[in-house]
Amino acid sequence: MRQYRNDTYAAQRMNLLEKWVGVNEDFLSSVEEWERYDAFLCKRDELIARLTELDATHRYEGLAHIESGDVEKMNNLVRLIGALDVDIERSIRAQRNEVLESMRSVVKNEQLARYGYGSPVPAESEMVPPFSVKL
């Protein structure tokens, strides 16, 4: 692996991309912890903003000094980020579907309980005649 000076465009960009991969991996490993979503998304947004700013300021003069192997490594990191994003999306959808299915099951059980299905039949003395018609 090539060593960069910390102030070069390539080093800063590589560092930000590697941090982004780390955030995505952390997000994916704890996708069941919904309360942490905001923290992960804030970290990602911050990294995206920093990359955008870095690219806007140094892109043209910085690109001329990046070796092709380094460009390939950056491209691989971007592809990895994309793959992790897809995995995160799938995991969130699976988690959401599990929660929705659980909620549907609870609602169905409550409806069945409310209508008396599945409850024991009342004793004959507890039964109320359906209608009393007086003539």
Query: 10-residue block means of pLDDT along the chain (135 residues)?
Result: 59 94 94 90 96 86 77 94 95 91 88 69 55 54
pTM above 0.85, yes or no: no
Query: Is the distance from CB of 50 to CB of 20 less than 8 angstroms?
Result: no
Query: Is the distance from CB of 55 to CB of 17 less than 8 angstroms?
Result: no
CB neighbour list of residue 108: distance below 8 Å, 6 or more residues apart: none
Cα–Cα distance between 63 and 48 in angstroms, integer? 19
